[in-house]
């Protein structure tokens, strides 16, 4: 992966940073969702959550769907996952995807570029109870990134699902930490199952240390991948999945040619109370 490619990629697109809204039962803070884009699924029989404790989550920086074979790859992933958390998602390409109507599509649009909305996107087989997004601006190039937080009611439990794309172009860890800290009130005030996943741009040991301290402070566990085929930059893995209040049945990192990131697929189960 070339440094210049990363630079121009960030100039043209910005990823995403999102925060969650207040649910009556969770008492979470209210947020501004002016740039939240939602397209409901057309198939009515997927509106309700399944009567199972097991579910799967796909995490993938899709590189705006620019590369050949992207739609075919996404269709393959869609056969394996209940949720797909995309970074660098293109609104126009997702609306043109033939399988799109089978999914609830939630996008935290970071910015508009040439008529297209770009940012993180969550695709779900089930409608969420609450959604919240937040933006965080890249300090150098002034392009926003977005994150998306969602609440799902699952049987007698709740799931807080967070899709995050961390800022990239800064050598200081202060801005990187500041973006993470925006999640703090939501993680601290919510006590059921949590998944925090995405492209965290942990290309340095210092960034990784900041992320690990944040994860530890909020009692999140790290999903491990063996073999570990996650995309790396300067030898450091960029994409991560963290969780609490859940068990992991299986995890795998999947090599892809249709993006500059490999994908992560994790099969979770709700912990017994």
CATH number for position 140: 3.60.10.10
Domain extent, residue 73, equals: 3-270
Residue 49, pLDDT score: 60
Task: Name the β-bridge partners of 265.
Answer: 58, 252
Least confident stretch, 73-82, 194-203, 224-233, 264-273: 264-273
Six-digit token string for 125: 């087989």
| % residues pLDDT > 70 (the chain) | 84
Distance CA 83, CA 80 (A): 9
Distance CA 77, CA 259 (A): 13
Burial class (CB in 10 A: 0-12, 13-18, 19+), 42: exposed
Give phi and psi for 63, each to the nearest 5.
Answer: 55, 40
Name the H helices within the chain. 3-12, 70-78, 91-96, 173-181, 184-189, 205-217
Q: Is 87 left (phi over 0), alpha (psi -120 to 50) or beta?
A: beta
Q: What is the pLDDT of residues 21-52, one digit of tens each?
A: 333 344 455 677 888 999 999 865 454 565 67
Instruction: Specify the number of domains making up the chain.
Output: 1
Q: Whole-prediction pTM value? A: 0.86
Residue 144: which of 108, 173, 116 has the closest Cα?
108
Q: Rg (Cα) of the chain, in Å, rounded?
A: 17
Specify whether the CB–CB gap between 196 and 162 falls below 8 A. Answer: yes
Q: In what order do the strands lie in the sheet with 157-165?
A: 130-137, 144-154, 157-165, 193-199, 239-244, 221-222
Q: How confident is the model at residue 252 (pLDDT cuts 50, 70, 90)?
A: very high
Distance CA 138, CA 201 (A): 12
Map tokens 């790859």 to a residue. 73
For residue 90, the SS3 value is strand
Six-digit token string for 157: 């439990």
Q: How confident is the model at residue 234 (pLDDT cuts 50, 70, 90)?
A: very high
Task: Name the β-bridge partners of 106.
Answer: 38, 122
Residue partners of 47: CB distance under 8 A and separation at least 6 = 41, 126, 127
Report the 10 Å Cβ neighbour count for 184: 12
């Amino acid at each position: 992966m070339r440094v210049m490619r990363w630079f121009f990629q960030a100039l043209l697109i910005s990823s995403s940073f999102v925060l969650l809204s207040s649910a009556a039962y969770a008492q979470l803070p209210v947020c501004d969702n002016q740039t939240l884009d939602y397209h409901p699924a057309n198939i009515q029989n997927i509106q309700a959550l399944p009567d199972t404790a097991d579910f799967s989550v796909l995490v993938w920086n899709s590189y705006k769907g620019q590369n050949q074979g992207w739609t075919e790859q996404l269709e393959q992933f869609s056969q394996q996952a209940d949720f797909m958390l995309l970074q660098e998602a293109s609104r126009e390409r997702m609306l043109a995807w033939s399988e799109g109507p089978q999914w609830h599509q939630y996008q935290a649009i970071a910015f508009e570029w040439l008529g297209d909305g770009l940012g993180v996107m969550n695709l779900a087989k089930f409608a969420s109870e609450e959604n919240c997004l937040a933006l965080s601006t890249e300090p150098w190039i002034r392009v926003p990134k977005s994150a998306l937080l969602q609440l799902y009611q699952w049987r007698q439990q709740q799931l807080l699902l967070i899709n995050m794309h961390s800022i990239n172009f800064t050598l200081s860890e202060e801005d990187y930490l500041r973006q993470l800290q925006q999640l703090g009130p939501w993680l601290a005030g919510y006590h059921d199952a949590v998944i925090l996943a995405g492209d965290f741009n942990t290309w340095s040991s210092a960034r990784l240390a900041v992320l690990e301290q944040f994860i530890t402070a909020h009692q999140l566990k790290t999903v491990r991948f063996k073999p570990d085929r996650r995309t790396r930059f300067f030898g450091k893995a960029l994409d991560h999945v963290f969780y609490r209040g859940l068990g992991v049945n299986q995890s795998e990192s999947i090599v892809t040619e249709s993006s500059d990131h490999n994908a992560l697929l994790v099969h979770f189960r709700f912990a017994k109370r």
